[in-house]
């Protein structure tokens, strides 16, 4: 590097961890593959990772709900506490270049810690505007990669259950302006050791193929 050149800013990644299962979590392991691929893609730029364990995030409370419903009122000390937690979540989201979400499916949808995060960041007048044409997101669009683990199946012929997780998460992220959402899955974690190994291989290969093809496409763009 020429000494007069500034070092490239690292790729800032915010990862949300929604599983209660710690290091045994399949969605966390899948998200590690995504982080690895993003690190390769970032090259000499490097990455700067911020992890949030959503299991430590309390759900929104009455004071928060009141503050959102009465935006013109000056916040009381109580409201400031819950609003500042929401502010902090929004600041962290705004500060990232890429959002990674590691999440299990719970009862066909997102688990409650992820729902709590959604309730903190999808905030009228802050991350979306309510207009005569509907809700309009105010965040700068950026890629979102979601690592989903499911006990049963949600894709292909073996799927025997509804999947509200992916359509719901895409819709709610679109509300705040995030339109580039891509899902990776490890499915059938409850179907025994062999099924899990197969599911991991399919999920991890999918991550590899997706990012490899993206890196190839970028290289061709640069060369052309």
Ligand X SMILES: Cc1cc2nc3c(=O)[nH]c(=O)nc-3n(C[C@H](O)[C@H](O)[C@H](O)COP(=O)(O)O)c2cc1C
- Please say which residue, 89 or 105, places its beta carbon nearer to ligand X: 105
Query: Judged by CB under 6 A, does residue 152 bind ligand X?
Result: yes
What's the CA angle centered on 134, arms 131 and 138, to 5 degrees? 70
- Please say which residue, 128 or 153, places its beta carbon nearer to ligand X: 153
Considering only residues 172 to 211 of the shown chain, the ones binding ligand X according to CB under 6 A are 189-190
- 103: which strand partners? 148
- Please say which residue, 22 or 43, places its beta carbon nearer to ligand X: 22
d(CA 184, CA 202): 10
Query: Judged by CB under 6 A, does residue 27 bind ligand X?
Result: yes
Least Å distance between CB 146 and ligand X? 12
Structure tokens at 222: 């640069």
Provide the CA 156 distance to its chain's centre, in angstroms. 23
Considering only residues 66 to 125 of the shown chain, the ones binding ligand X according to CB under 6 A are 104-108
β strands within 112-194, DSSP E: 128-131, 134-137, 143-150, 180-187
- Please say which residue, 161 or 209, places its beta carbon nearer to ligand X: 161
Query: Judged by CB under 6 A, does residue 19 bind ligand X?
Result: yes
- In the list 8, 9, 21, 95, the residue contacting ligand X (rule: CB under 6 A) is 21
Q: How many CB atoms lie within 10 A of CB 111?
A: 19
Backbone angles phi, psi at 153, to 5 degrees: -115, 145
**Binding residue positions:** 19, 25-27
Query: Judged by CB under 6 A, does residue 168 bind ligand X?
Result: no
Among the residue ranges 40-48, 93-101, 146-154, 172-180, the one whose residues contact ligand X (CB under 6 A): 146-154
Nearest to 173 by CA among 127, 208, 218, 207: 127
- In the list 67, 149, 199, 207, the residue contacting ligand X (rule: CB under 6 A) is 149
Answer whether 35's CB lies under 8 Å from 49's CB.
yes
The binding site for ligand X (CB under 6 A) comprises 19, 21, 25-28, 104-108, 149-152, 161, 189-190
């Amino acid at each position: 590097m020429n000494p007069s050149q500034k070092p490239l800013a690292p790729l800032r990644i915010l990862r949300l961890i929604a599983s209660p299962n710690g290091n045994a979590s399949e969605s966390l392991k899948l998200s590690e593959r995504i982080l690895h691929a993003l690190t390769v893609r970032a090259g000499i730029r490097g990455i700067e990772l911020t992890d949030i364990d959503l299991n430590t995030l309390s759900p929104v409370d009455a004071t928060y709900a009141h503050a959102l419903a009465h935006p013109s009122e000056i916040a009381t000390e109580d409201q400031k506490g819950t609003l500042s937690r929401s502010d902090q979540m929004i600041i962290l989201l705004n500060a990232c270049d890429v959002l990674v979400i590691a999440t299990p499916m719970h009862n066909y949808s997102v688990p409650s810690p992820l729902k709590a995060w959604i309730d903190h960041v999808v905030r009228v007048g802050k991350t979306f505007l309510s207009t005569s044409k509907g809700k309009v997101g105010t965040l700068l669009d950026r890629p979102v990669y979601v690592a989903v683990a499911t006990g049963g199946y949600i894709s292909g012929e073996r799927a025997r259950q509804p999947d509200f997780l992916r359509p719901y998460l895409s819709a709610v992220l679109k509300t705040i302006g995030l339109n580039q959402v891509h899902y990776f899955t490890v499915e059938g974690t409850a179907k025994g050791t062999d099924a899990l190994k197969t599911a991991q291989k399919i999920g991890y290969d999918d991550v590899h193929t997706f990012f490899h093809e993206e890196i190839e496409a970028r290289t061709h763009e640069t060369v052309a």
